[in-house]
Amino acid sequence: MADQRAKHVAPKSSIRWGAVAVCILIAVFLFVTPNDHASAQQNSCAVARAPVASLSFINQDPMLDRHRSVRWLNNRANQGSRYLVTGLTEYELQARFDMRLEPVEVGVGAFCLYPIRINPEVEVIKHLVYVASELERGTCEYDVVYAHEGQHVQINQHMEQDIQRELDAMVSEIMADFAAMRPVGAGEVQRLQRRLLNQYGQDFKRRLRAIDLARREDHRAIDTPDEYERLSKACGPNSAFQTTLPDAMR
């Protein structure tokens, strides 16, 4: 009988030990794993969602000014005496960069900054087309000059598309930047926020300058000596380009 009791006791003891072991493993999993997860979160500022990004482009239709003389246009263009300026297009922008960052606590005393809104504003403040006042509307010379300036207007009107494309690229880069950032202490939040707002504001201005330089190159591509020569002969040998306009410059 004693041997039988011993045989029955041993399995019960093993079962109880197994149950205790399982409970310990579960307790370790429940209490240790969340701490490891929190630690991982504190080392990363992965961006959960993309910011709301929109471009506010305030356009201005080109305005025609026919009250400027050919002499005034040449002084305005500062071309010297090599070419006779009979038309001119002026275009000017002003821009403002608006971005909102939100600090979020990701651990005890640790914060991540997240981009919430990116909303640059670009406004066309000047879009003027000048045609020399000596040219009568409806004449061949007027139509030639007006059509040429129309090409410049079309180049300017592509600016909105170019800026929107750059903004889309910029948002993608900002998302990657913030995803790679590490949390900072509470005392560093404001300084980091100021630095990032300045950094991205300067980046947007740099992109605008690059777009503007490309636009100027497009303008120069249609303002060539060969094109000027072609236009000067477009209305025949005795047109205002050879008679009236040069006389007005004397």
Backbone phi, psi, residue 108, to 5°: -65, 110
Looking at residue 179, what is its pLDDT?
86
pLDDT band, residue 249 (cuts 50/70/90): confident
Rounded to two decimals, the pTM is 0.74
Q: What is the pLDDT of residues 204-248, one digit of tens each?
A: 999 999 999 999 999 999 999 999 999 999 999 999 999 999 998
pLDDT band, residue 48 (cuts 50/70/90): low
Looking at residue 138, what is its pLDDT?
95
- What value does the mean pLDDT take over residues 117-136? 95
- C-alpha closest to that of 233 among 141, 137, 165: 141
Antiparallel, parallel or unpaired: β 63-65 and 121-131: parallel
Q: What is the pLDDT of residues 148-207, one digit of tens each?
A: 999 999 999 998 999 999 999 999 899 889 888 899 999 999 999 999 999 999 999 999
User: 243: which 2 tokens?
Assistant: 């008679």
Looking at residue 5, what is its pLDDT?
33
CA 100 to chain centre: 15
Angle between helices 159-179 and 189-222 (to 10 degrees): 150
Q: With 60 as the cut, is the pLDDT of residue 20 above it? A: no
- What value does the mean pLDDT take over residues 30-48? 51
- pLDDT more than 90, % of the chain: 64
